Structure 1
Amino acid sequence: MFVGSFPLRLDEKGRVALPVRFRDQVSAGMVITKGQERCLYGLTLERVAEVQRARAAAVASDTAKARALSRLGFGSMAELEPDRAGRITIPASLREYAGLDRDVVVVGVDTRFEIWDSAAWDAYVAEQEAEYAAMESEGMPTLS
């Protein structure tokens, strides 16, 4: 499980050192792909296979929607292996999509992590916090 948020920096080569807590989970390989709200999703290879199986079961594979999801999803994925220092190099096209320049935030979101531009993350949190605080029962599930 990926949890927590970590302010980090991209180096001049587009590399970011993943949080230590995440490194073991992605040591066998991972993908980075376009996410919603102009962030990037980081997924283990195992999770990508799970998502694809679920998607294939839910959507007939011969529809235009299924083809578009597959093309855009798999076509934007970059398969990566962290180096010995736990760094991944984010391809330029994905950095451009998410507006990543220097300061980023890596956010754990259960079965994936997200990489956000720091200013975009701050704006997103500011926008969402009031609504989150006002939720009655849709917030954090009880752990009992």
Structure 2
Amino acid sequence: MFQGASSLSLDAKGRLSVPTRHRDVLSATAGGQLTITKHPHGCLMVFPRPEWEKFRERIAALPMSAQWWKRVFLGNAMDVEMDGTGRILVSPELRAATGIVRDTLLLGMGNHFELWDKATYEAKEAEATQGEMPDVFQDFAF
């Protein structure tokens, strides 16, 4: 399970260095093979390949009424592999779609990661935390 946030910078070629605390797990569980695709909230989802395959099956099984969402998730998916130094290439198309240029935030979200343009994430988090908490948190103890 992945958790935590890492501030990272893309290099000039669009490569991202996976934090060392995640590299061993990704190598052991996915052979360093990952899949990156769009998320409807304006970030990218980064899946270890076995988790992607489960997600892909669920999306592919959706009815025709969800065809556009299938296109968003499956049509934009890019398979990548960590190189010898733990870097992955984020395609120009996916970077452009999310506004990712250099400064990013990688969030562990359990079985996958979210990759955000850092400024976009900070703005969306500030907006979310200024509002009321969703009802699902009413009985949640902090």
Q: Sort the TM-score into its range (normalised by shorter chain).
A: 0.7 to 0.9
Moved more, 72-81 or 111-120: 72-81
Residue 18 of structure 1 corresponds to which residue in structure 2?
A: 18
**Structure 2: where are the runs of 5+ without partners?**
none
What's the counterpart of residue 41 of structure 2? 37
Partner of 2:125: 125
Moved more, 30-39 or 46-55: 46-55
Deviations 1:9-63 (A, max 9, x none): 0110001101122223332211000112210000111112212333455x34xx2
Identity %: 31
1:87 maps to 2:102: no
Mark the CA change 1:135 to 1:37 in structure 2 (over 3 Å): closer, same or farther: closer
For 1:17 and 1:126, the matched residues in 2 are separated by 26
Structure 1 stretch 119-128 or stretch 17-26: which is displaced more? 17-26
Residue 138 of structure 1 aligns with an amino acid whose one-letter code is F
Query: TM-score when scaled to structure 2?
Result: 0.83
Q: Output the TM-score relative to the length of structure 1.
A: 0.82
**Contact in 2 for aligned 1:39/1:117 (Cα 8 Å):** yes
> Deviation of residue 129 (structure 1)?
2.0
Counterpart of 1:78 in structure 2 is 78
For these two proteins, the number of residue pairs brought into alignment is 137
Structure 1: stretches of 5+ with no match in the other structure: none
